[in-house]
Structure 1
Amino acid sequence: MAIPRHIIVLRFSALGDIAMTVPVIKNLLQQNPSIEITFVSVPFVKPLFEGIERLNFFSADIKKEYKGILGLWKLSRKIKQQNSFDAVADLHNVLRTKLLRFFLGQKTSIIDKGREEKKELTRPVDKKLRPLKTGFQRYAEVFEKLGLMVHLNIEKGYSNLLADESLLPFKRENNIVIGIAPFAKHNAKIYPAEKMLQAVKLLAKNDHVKLLIFASKAELPMIESWKNEAGNIFIMAGKLNLQQELNLISQLDVMLSMDSANMHLASLYSIPVVSIWGGTHPFLGFYGWGQVYENILQTDLPCRPSSVFGNKDCPVHGAAGCMQQITPAMVAEKLLEVAGRK
């Protein structure tokens, strides 16, 4: 098999899954100095790929300019006009990318998502709970099938940003800076709001601890009252673009997240993450790059995991019920412990 020189890589969602491609792509390019990558994705995620040598980011607005079958055909024409490529790596394998790789018409390597293995972990009875291949390994296999070498080497400080301390709403000094990302796409992955608020209050009692709360504009009403609890709680929702948010995340001492994109964003900058897991499970392959298992907060319940993506409530405990045994004190203590180890 001829080794490809220029690969078109496809992945359009979700933010966390796209972030997981970054360390794989970096390893791929470092270990194969003769190749070039054009990464095709939605414009919003471009900051994740800035500064990577021999990577061109192709912004594809699939909601407007390249919407529908005709739009994908136009996108394929644009990619062909701007690039001379000899392979396509489909890291998504959904209808949109299937059509696009057909239109692109080059040899293709496609991700194996391991759906049958994941069913064995998430079925209600007779679960076979074991660590599956990680998403990083599955991405790497796509390129290995093209004849390329990809060893997943964990490196400290994988992405480099010059810290912009002006983004901090306080002086850095000797404070412990903790990021808190309390939300996820699905309820079964979200730590109960009243418990999260209690954990925030416990942390806020420490004057030398500064809490940055990360959320979207839509989630702002649910957490706006938190800033009234203490002067060291700062709500960042809706104030930053992705580039600024990444820079701020890179300055944290520790991040608290659900099984969500923020875990993966922090992992790109070697920021330790304390993650809370409910309806999903780290064994399904979506744990953060370089993160240690000691920083996971989860309960050993026979019903877990109940789904791959958290889009199904637990049949035993309901939405977020699998997190009820994780106390606010456990969350606060783990965050302070990890921040002290950094």
Structure 2
Amino acid sequence: MGDVAMTAPVLNALVKQHPELRIIMLTKEPLTPIFEGIPNLQVFIADVNGRHKGLKGLWKLHKELMEYPISAVADLHNVLRSNILKRYFRLAKVPFAQINKGRREKRALTSAKNKEFKPLKSTLQRYCEVFDSLGYPLQLPTVKPLEQKALSQQTLGLIGKDNRQKWIGIAPFAAFPGKTYPYKLMEEVIKGLDNTNKYKIFLFGGEEDRSSMIKTANKSRNVVNMAGVVDLSQELELISHLDLMISMDSANAHLSAMYGIPTITLWGVTHPYAGFYPFGQDPDYALTSDRSRYPLIPTSIYGKKVPKGYEHVMETILPEQVLNKVYSVLS
């Protein structure tokens, strides 16, 4: 989801700088709310577990897409399915440009031996380069955040009375343990913010995270659990109105960043140098684990690989550091 969220401000800038373009965004159905409000863009659902499954399904998908007057294809994913589609479109002589993910540089960055620890090109810059290669130049500095969404009555009914507190979102979980801040430490952060009575705190996460966050909300004065309560469309409404987001190196960081919300990120065995730093964020908003104690960081791009002895790297980020960063940003 994070990769998809990073495409949204780029596509928004693309259609505004090239208003003659019409975009058909091929994505999975749950992700369609990310693209709501982008002009000249319609979503086409890839049913990869149904009618578009397998080689025959991808051929069917290609034929369905060819019913549109497609003049070029921009592959912002570069995975097995899109590489198969590339062959089909090239048979139809449709220009096809793919993102260069920089896999070799990323292997060097995450290598345990002869590590090349240096910042890599951002994923957003790589997206821009795909469109540039198709003849639609797009400069990254011209990419701007999406506009704030209106809060629906349903969402307003869920979040309760606005008592002029600043709104902070916290997404305390991630897909892999290697980049998830210990929840006991995050509870200290939440308690510290809650005790000031200055902030309304919204907890975001998946259905599997809900029970932990309900317990936290129940013992707090200003904390509201949103996990399993709202759908993605409502979540985006709320996120676009936050004063601040605290997130792991995960999707919620990119969802808030695409609306220009100040986003503090906590990094474990991954690192901002890999090119997945949230769009438009001050580099100072990243809190990284201690590389002097754990020099192999980053050990992987997505946080899957956790070497022996690196299971607790995020404990080097103290709750006091997170709180001080919040106070600094919101001041």
SS at match of 2:112: coil
Between stretches 298-307 and 146-155, larger displacement belongs to 146-155
SS at match of 1:153: helix
Q: 1:86-235 alignment to 2 at 5 Å?
A: 86-104=71-89, 105=92, 106-153=94-141, 157-164=145-152, 166-167=156-157, 169-235=159-225
Residues 269-296 of structure 1: CA deviation (Å, up to 9, x unaligned): 1110010001100010001111101111
Name the residue aligned to 1:314: 307
Name the residue aligned to 2:3: 17
Residues 60-98 of structure 1: CA deviation (Å, up to 9, x unaligned): 2212232222211111111112x0112111111111111
TM-score by length of 1: 0.90
Q: Aligned-pair distance for 1:189?
A: 0.7
Between stretches 240-249 and 93-102, larger displacement belongs to 93-102
TM-score by length of 2: 0.93
Q: Does 1:237 align with 2:227?
A: yes
Query: Residues of 1 paired with 2:308 and 2:116: CA distance?
Result: 18
Residues 125-183 of structure 1: CA deviation (Å, up to 9, x unaligned): 33221111000011111111112211113566533312346155222232021100011
Q: Does 1:76 align with 2:66?
A: no
Query: Residues of 2 paired with 1:186 and 1:224: CA distance?
Result: 21
Q: Does 1:39 align with 2:32?
A: no
**Counterpart AA for 2:202:** L
Name the residue aligned to 2:16: 30
Structure 1, unaligned runs of 5 or more = 1-14
Query: Residues of 2 paired with 1:167 and 1:329: CA distance?
Result: 33
Query: Residues of 2 paired with 1:256 and 1:139: CA distance?
Result: 25
Between stretches 194-203 and 145-154, larger displacement belongs to 145-154
Residues 75 and 167 (structure 1 numbering): CA distance in 2 closer, same or farther, change over 3 Å? Answer: farther
CA contact (8 A) 1:109 1:142 kept: yes
CA contact (8 A) 2:288 2:317 kept: yes
Residues 154 and 176 (structure 1 numbering): CA distance in 2 closer, same or farther, change over 3 Å? Answer: farther
SS at match of 2:159: coil
Name the residue aligned to 1:295: 285
**Counterpart AA for 1:146:** L
Q: Aligned-pair distance for 1:231?
A: 2.0
Residues 16-62 of structure 1: CA deviation (Å, up to 9, x unaligned): 00011111112222222222211111111111112222212111221
**Counterpart AA for 1:102:** R
CA contact (8 A) 2:265 2:285 kept: yes
CA contact (8 A) 2:13 2:144 kept: no
**Counterpart AA for 1:45:** L
Query: Residues of 2 paired with 1:280 and 1:47: CA distance?
Result: 27
**Which residue among 232, 241, 253 is the counterpart of 1:263?**
253
Query: Residues of 2 paired with 1:155 and 1:285: CA distance?
Result: 16
Name the residue aligned to 1:63: 49
CA contact (8 A) 2:168 2:202 kept: yes
Between stretches 48-57 and 277-286, larger displacement belongs to 48-57
SS at match of 1:132: coil
Q: Pairwise CA RMSD of aligned residues?
A: 1.6
CA contact (8 A) 1:189 1:278 kept: yes
Residues 47 and 218 (structure 1 numbering): CA distance in 2 closer, same or farther, change over 3 Å? Answer: same
SS at match of 2:228: coil
Identity %: 39
Query: Residues of 1 paired with 2:168 and 2:144: CA distance?
Result: 19
CA contact (8 A) 2:10 2:143 kept: no
SS at match of 1:337: helix
**Counterpart AA for 2:121:** K
